[in-house]
Amino acid sequence: MLTPEELARVLPAETSSFPSPVPTQIVSNDEYMPSPQTEKQKQYEARVKELGSELARKQGMTRRTFFKSASGMAAAYLAMNDVYGPVFSVSRAEAATPEMADERANALKSQFIMDMHTHFLRDDTRITGFIAQRAAVGKAGWNPALVGKEQTIDELKFPNYFKEVFLDSDTKVACITGAPSEVPADWFLTNEMKAQARAKINKEAGTRRALAHAIFTPGYDGWMEQVDHALNDLKPDSMKGYTIGDNTNKHLSKHPWRLDDEKLVYPAYERFLKAGIKNVCIHKGLFPPAVEEKFPHLLAYSDVRDVGKAAKDWPQLNFIVYHSAYRWAGGGKPEDAWAQFQKTGRIEWVSDLAEIPEKYGVKNVYGDLGQIFAWTVVSEPRLGAAVMGILGKGLGYDHVVWGTDAVWTGAPQWQIEGLRRLEIPEDMQKKYGYKPLGQAANSPIKNAIFGENNARLYNYTPKQRAELVNDRYAQIKASYDKYGEGRSNLRYGYVAKPVG
Ligand SMILES: [Zn+2]
């Protein structure tokens, strides 16, 4: 364990102005986030702030500091239960008694969490929409750590990524992903940058803390050469594709493609296999009716109609569908998804995804939870429970894999707590035949979703896992947990020397 002085040397703290305790102006960005405007959401927002102020005062701390504590996290889920009914396992005592909350948090600290869906942006990025998303998440009170914290582009870059993923959350291993664009400057990260960041992290940690995607872009100029380059020189842990073509600049998307395009894409799968890559990650969903209206020609590439045949034709590959093809985000509303579910028992296109194994007789289709917890569980908890139930029933819980889309919505800890505390309500289990997740935060099913399934997919060995317990990142985090929180000069702008 590092002493505070050593910690200060490892992580030169940068002071920054104290964050405004007043929530920032609502930033509604339809592109990225439903604006939190339902009655229920307003109630929740009021409730979490009221509860936070009350409990913070009792502890003699500011609300913002309180929200950074384990009790503050418990308070947020308590407020959810107060507004939506009891979906999360949390007690008032936990929110009011820091010792009790800390004890629980400590007991869960070592849980193996492998997040295969994390982002940061290149230093020269021009993409600013995610700032608004983080601000909206803070404004809504979904991620208590973002409440009242002003957001800047710096929060989306590597040093803050390191802090939020590896220090502010219980995540043990993370995959660095990205998104392509017809505009080269608008790739979140180039494939080179992803591989370099992985190398840097793993070198500093001395263990396999980071994995990296390489993006493949069928139809783009010279795309197959880029595939060869990635496979030969960058050695990604898996490949990732956007069938929508260009998700960031949809108006420029000229090369949408299908997973089951034999002529265009199958030759690439062949090369993946030859290079020892068996996991193909695919961005799907996030295409609500409002977006369809603007880009009707991209609809056919956003749902999962092309997954079944590809999976059947390529049993040696695993098709991991990101966001589990959940349609109702990126400008959609959770209440629309909830209305659809109540009416039909289905959720587009999560249900369509879940039906593939039975329809096609395949076992190699997986659902990633990237941001699902942000869009459903914390805004309409029963909708989140339905998503989990549908995936578990159709794909099997051993085919549901952890991803958070951090840092778009801040440190992933609130999403981790979401799954730890979630259970599918009994009436839904009965009515729809959903299998329970288990009440315990580390039930076998939750452990599988958090880490075991991804470990299996990516050959993350027990030896590699054991090495994490004492590596350099573990030491830094232990010091951070012990000394970091209370130190105002360590609060922001953590400059992560290990990677800087
Ligand atoms: Zn993502």
CATH number at residue 399: 3.20.20.140
Spacing, Cα 483 to ligand 1 middle (Å): 32
pTM for the full model?
0.89
Question: Is 43 part of any domain?
Answer: no
Q: What is the mean pLDDT of residues 233-237?
A: 98
Asked whether residue 492 carries a pLDDT value surpassing 90, the answer given is no
Q: Per-residue pLDDT for 20 more than 70?
A: no
In a domain, 225, yes or no: yes
Distance 375 CA to ligand 1 centre (A): 13
247 falls within a domain = yes
Res. 10: pLDDT tops 60: no
In a domain, 13, yes or no: no
Per-residue DSSP letters for 261-273? Answer: -TTTTHHHHHHHH
What pLDDT shows up at residue 22? 21
Q: In this structure, what is the dihedral angle of CA atoms 416, 64, 167, 424, given to the nearest 10 degrees? A: 0
In the chain, the N- to C-terminal Cα span, in Å, equals: 21
Residue 394 lies inside a defined structural domain of this protein:
yes
Looking at the predicted structure, is the pLDDT value of residue 55 above 90? Answer: yes
For residue 118, the CA-to-ligand 1 centroid distance in Å is: 7
Which tokens sit at 227? 């595939």
- Residue 220 forms part of a structural domain: yes
Per-residue tokens: 60: 């003699």
Q: What is the pLDDT of residues 160-184, one digit of tens each?
A: 899 999 999 999 999 999 999 999 9
Q: Determine the pLDDT at residue 64.
A: 84
Tokens at residue 162, please? Answer: 């390191």
Distance 73 CA to ligand 1 centre (A): 24
Could you tell me the pLDDT band of residue 496, with boundaries at 50, 70 and 90?
very low
Residue 431 CA to ligand 1 center (angstroms) comes to: 32
In the chain, how many domains are there?
A: 1
pLDDT value for 128? 79
Over the stretch 407-429, which tens digit does the pLDDT of each residue have?
A: 888 889 989 999 999 999 999 99
Binned at pLDDT 50, 70 and 90, residue 2 comes out as low
User: What pLDDT score was predicted for residue 216?
Assistant: 98
The per-residue pLDDT for 377 is 80
Distance 265 CA to ligand 1 centre (A): 22
**Is 60 exceeded by the pLDDT of residue 33?**
no
pLDDT score for 12: 34
Q: Ligand 1 centre from 286 Cα, in Å?
A: 10
In a domain, 71, yes or no: no
Q: Which residue has the higher pLDDT, 1 or 319?
A: 319
Structure tokens at 2: 């590092």
381-394 helix and 334-344 helix, angle to the nearest 10 degrees? 60
Helix axes 381-394, 70-84, angle to 10 degrees: 90
Range of the domain at 258: 114-468
- Cβ-based neighbours of 375, under 8 Å, separated by 6 or more: 34, 326, 328, 329, 334
* CA of residue 290 to ligand 1 center, whole Å: 20
Mean pLDDT of the chain: 87
- Segment 458-465 mean pLDDT: 98
Length of the chain: 500
Q: What is the pLDDT of residues 368-383, one digit of tens each?
A: 999 888 888 877 899 9
Average pLDDT over residues 323-344: 92
Fill in the DSSP letter of residue 372.
H
φ/ψ of 498, rounded to 5, equals -50, -25
Distance in Å, CA 314 to ligand 1 centroid: 24
Q: Is the pLDDT of residue 137 over 90?
A: no
Q: Residue 448 domain-assigned?
A: yes
305 alpha carbon, distance to own chain's centre? 24
Longest dimension (CA), the chain: 66
d(CA 248, CA 121): 13
Position 452 scores a pLDDT of: 98
CB count in 10 Å sphere of residue 455: 19
